[in-house]
Amino acid sequence: MHPSGRFVYFSNRGQDTVTVFRTDPATAAAEVIQVQPVRGAFPRNINLAPGGEWLLAAGADSNTVSVHKVNPQTGELTYQLRSVINVPAPICIVFVAR
């Protein structure tokens, strides 16, 4: 869930996408607003940066991690060109405080 509480993100392994939902905190209703390709195969894990400005997707079968910018107003994702990182067997993305 986005730190604002207004957006939820789900990885779709069979489709190699992330689905973005807009939520209504008052009613808990959710609607699909975007289905974004992850530019990798079998997104095993996705995670939002602590501030909610980035979403990273680990493509377990493609050995990649892709970077997507999060629009803070709409929650929609924009793939960052040339941002695919080659990583052997990525399973989980964790952000560590410095």
Each of the 98 residues of the chain gets a pLDDT tens digit; together they read: 999 999 999 999 999 999 999 999 889 899 999 999 999 999 999 999 999 999 999 999 999 999 999 999 999 999 998 889 999 999 999 999 87
Cβ atoms of 20 and 36 within 8 Å: the answer is yes
Number of C-beta neighbours around residue 51 at 10 A? 10
DSSP string over 26-81: TT--EEEEEEEE-SSSSEEEEEE-TTSSEEEEEETTTTEEEEEEEPTTT--EEE-T
